Amino acid sequence: MNMELALQTFFEESNELLQDMEAILLEVDYSTITGEQLNALFRTMHTIKGSAGLFGLDAIVLFAHQVENALDLLRAGALSLDDTLAGLLLRCHDHVKSLLEATRQETAAPIAAGTPLLAELAALLPAEPETPEASVQPQQPTGHQVQRWLVSLRFGPDMLRNGMDPASFINYLHTMGQVERIQALTVNLPSAEHFDPETHYLRYELLFHSDCSQQQLCDAFEFVQDDSQILICLASEAERHFATLCATLCTAEAEALHQVWRDFGLFPAAKPASVAEVIPSISQSPRAGRTADNLFIKVEAHKIDSLINLIGELVIAGAATNLLARRAADPQLREATEVMAELVEQVRAGTLSMRMVQIGEVFQRFVRATHDVSRELHKSIQLHISGAETELDKAMVDKVGDPLMHLLRNAIDHGIETADTRRQAGKSSDGHVWLNAYHESSSVVIEVADDGAGLNADKILRKALERGLVSPAETLSESEVFKLIFEPGFSTAEQITDISGRGVGMDVVKKNIEQLHGSIEIDSILDQGTTFRIRLPLTLAIIDGLLVQVGQSTFVLPLEAVIECHELPASQTPSAKRDYFDLRGEILPLLDLAAFLEQPASHHARRNLVVVRAGIDKAALVVDALLGEFQTVIKPLGQLFRHLKAVSGSTILGSGEVALILDIPSLIHSACLQEAAELYSGNQPQYRGATSAQMTEPGGKNNEE
């Protein structure tokens, strides 16, 4: 019953429709567009117009009406879709979107911006009567002939509560034609205390004269289609639909309906209704193709958030119970708590999956962006999307959009060369950009790749030297050089365009990704292309952790980063000097957590090694004891601890103790730095692009022995 809520629904619906419209305009091949797609296109604007009318949003109605007219001509074949028209329609789409946004924000609608668009549309419209094709459309569903329709409306019970009134729809019908008869049926109104003043109980039968098509009439009710039973058919054919309609009704309603239809003169031959032909009529609804929508329930985000919060508490409480049960040494109690833990785990997974949305939603925006950017730059770009169905936490999907957009624009602007340059390099003149998403262990990887010029390591290094970002004495591997482009204020663009290259951006991209606990890598081959690879955790709320003990404190390592655990070989007590660990021939940097975290020296006779990974980097961490797996609800750290590099959050253990969650990428970074520092102090200038194995094999072994 709340108008605000209804408006909210209207905005959401309209935005979805606008997305549909955009998708169709961008995806179709103009020459092979199907009637169905044209219909869908028409329906988007038509529905927006209709719904906007219900809310009295005249500015939107007026504008949408003109667009709808153009789309109607398109549908009728009087106009054909080409680059210019698609461009105009896209701009109209943008204008409707900005009108909607202005309404939502309650700011002044930018109506003036639509005037030139209206002029362009108007230029298309009057051409119609002269166009020969328009008259030779024998099977046009939009026959402009007035017909007598039966409109049977059984709106859903929640309609009033949702802020809509049947009277508005009937008023709207009055704008589309003439209502000959209208009869409301009140048989469903319950008596006594069963009556709820906010529930809708009525049924409306109308005889209606209009030149609109069945489709257009159905579209008028698109807004309430999902929970209403609506039949619109020619009055002369109504009789055939009676049986189907009655099949879903109670006897009283069916009898009343029969009475009304008889009054309307819809049963000419006084034939008993029961022998009427059974024709599936309701399933002919225009949105039959969207029935999948009905499988979804829209839930307010904060409800899920508070549920997830509760699950988090449940996980902690469960862990406490487990701990107590283990101490009590009562096998039955233990068994019971284990079953509980299993269920909690399932509930947790289920709840988190509710927050998961497909990343395709974000990718869709890029189709349009590519289209616009490539036009502006006069480059022909083909965008290839794969893995759009990969699921990611909703909060992440929202936040990853901007950095991705930036990378994409960069790829098109700086990555892809001009058509001439490409031809000279022996490439196809069309540039290709790939957006790819996939799951890898418990993270999501999103790649933005192009087949452009690639990153020029020498140029980047020169620039970095100029700006004093690196000292000439430093030797950097290629990947380290690439990482320099993420430094603040670094831009190699020779030509600064509108799209990108203002010298801000890549550092912001990196910061954004890191805020999501993600990481970003670059692969680039000169003249062949560049790939940016973003790795994100699946969710921000709860992780599986490995509980480890270091000194007197307990820490959590995200389980997704842990590869394996080992006992620290007695021969390999970490020395203060260079540390490494030989894992079956693979040499890994070794980091003693106790020393690194400045914990008091431990008295454990046996210590353990945890091999961890972040991206492609691996390291071995020395811990005192492994305490087992633990589901961890991440609690953010306060402002005070913001500068702590290697800690990403905290959690509360079953025992009530606080444990810090360690940030693996920065730990590995530290391990590498420490090693590098020792290398340099040891006066062993080496190109670190070589694998660590080559680097440590000869010297390292000798040191140990």
Partner 1 sequence: MTETLAIPSELTIYQAPALHQALAAALQSSTALQLNLSQTSELDTAAIQVLIWAQREAQRLGKPLSIVEPNACVLGFLSLTGLSSALRFGEAQS
Binding residues for partner 1 (CB under 8 A): 1, 160-161, 165-167, 170-171, 181-184, 186, 189, 191-192, 195, 197-198, 200-202, 204-206
DSSP 277-333: -----GGG-TTGGGGGGGG-----HHHHHHHHHHHHHHHHHHHHHHHHHHHHT-HHH
**Residue 34 or 191 with smaller CB distance to partner 1:** 191
Least distance in angstroms from the C-beta of 136 to partner 1 = 41
- Collapsing DSSP to helix, strand or coil, 150 comes out as strand
Contact call for residues 509 and 422 (beta carbons, < 8 A): no
Q: Where are the beta strands (DSSP E) in 203-243?
A: 203-210, 229-234
Q: Which is nearer to partner 1, 252 or 563 (CB)?
A: 252
* Least distance from partner 1 to the Cβ atom of residue 207, Å: 10
Nearer to partner 1, 8 or 492 (CB): 8
478 is written with which tokens?
């290629």
Of 174 and 566, nearer to partner 1 (C-beta) is 174
Q: Please, which residue, 62 or 170, has the CB nearer to partner 1?
A: 170
Cα separation, 408 vs 435, in Å, equals 9
Q: How many CB atoms lie within 10 A of CB 464?
A: 20
Rank residues 158 and 527 by Cβ distance to partner 1 and give the closer one: 158
In whole angstroms, how close is the CB of 665 to partner 1 at the nearest point? 55
Residue (43 or 154) nearer to partner 1, CB:
154
Report the nearest approach of partner 1 to the CB of residue 167 (Å): 5
Write down the residue that tokens 């692009």 correspond to. Answer: 689
Pairwise CA distance, residues 108 & 122, whole Å: 25
Least gap, CB of 190 to partner 1 (angstroms): 8
Tokens of 52: 């906007």
As measured in angstroms, the least distance from the Cβ of 49 to partner 1 is: 22
Q: Which is nearer to partner 1, 119 or 189 (CB)?
A: 189
Assess contact for 666 and 514: CB atoms under 8 A: no
| Cβ pair 650, 637 in contact under 8 A | yes
Q: What are 186's two structure tokens?
A: 């009140």
User: What's the min distance (Å) between Cβ of 250 and partner 1?
Assistant: 17
Q: Least distance in Å: CB of 244 to partner 1?
A: 23
User: Which one, 256 or 538, has the nearer CB to partner 1?
Assistant: 256
**611: which 2 tokens?**
């091999």
Relative to beta strand 647-652, strand 625-633 is unpaired
Closer of 178 and 703 to partner 1 (Cβ): 178
**Stretch (H or E) spanning 221:** none
- For partner 1, the closer of residues 202 and 565 by Cβ is 202
Q: Smallest distance from the beta carbon of 257 to partner 1, in angstroms?
A: 13
Task: Tell me how far, at minimum, the Cβ of 53 lies from partner 1, in Å.
Answer: 16
| CA-only gyration radius of the chain, Å | 33
Write down the residue that tokens 């000439």 correspond to.
472
And the tokens for 347? 């509930």
Minimum CB–partner distance for residue 522 and partner 1 (Å):
58
**Minimum distance of partner 1 from residue 166's CB (angstroms):** 5
Sign of CA dihedral 424, 426, 427, 428: positive
Contacts of 206 (CB under 8 A, 6+ apart): 149, 150, 151, 152, 153, 170, 173, 179, 180, 181, 182, 183
In whole angstroms, the minimum distance from the beta carbon of 153 to partner 1 comes to 10
Q: How far is CA 377 from the centre of its chain?
A: 27
Q: Are 503 and 414 in contact (CB under 8 A)?
A: no
Could you tell me which of 494, 492, 613 has the C-alpha nearest to residue 559? 613
**Shortest distance, position 22 Cβ to partner 1, whole Å:** 36
CB atoms within 10 A of CB 390: 18
Helices 360-376, 394-410: inter-axial angle, 10-degree rounding: 20
Which of 415, 435, 428, 419 has the alpha carbon at shortest distance from 527? Answer: 415
- Output the 3-class SS for 240-277: HHHHHHHHCCCHHHHHHHHHHHHHHCCCCCCCCHHHCC
Q: Which residues pair with 567 in a beta bridge?
A: 608
Q: Which is nearer to partner 1, 200 or 535 (CB)?
A: 200
**Are 661 and 632 in contact, with CB atoms under 8 Å apart?**
yes
Q: Which is nearer to partner 1, 171 or 475 (CB)?
A: 171
Cβ(78)–Cβ(124) under 8 Å? no
Task: Pick between residue 21 and residue 256 the one whose CB is nearest to partner 1.
Answer: 256
The beta-strand segments (E) located in 427-583 are: 431-440, 443-450, 519-525, 529-537, 542-550, 553-558, 562-567, 580-583
Which residue number, 257 or 622, has a Cβ lying nearer to partner 1? Answer: 257
Residue 311: alpha-carbon gap to chain centroid: 23
Orientation angle between helical segments 166-176 and 35-54, nearest 10 degrees: 120
Measure CA 612 to chain center: 30
In the bound state with partner 1, the residue whose beta carbon lies nearer, of 39 and 183, is 183
Min dist CB 199 to partner 1, Å, is 8
Element spanning 395, H or E? helix 394-410
Q: Give the shortest CB-213-to-partner 1 separation in angstroms.
A: 24
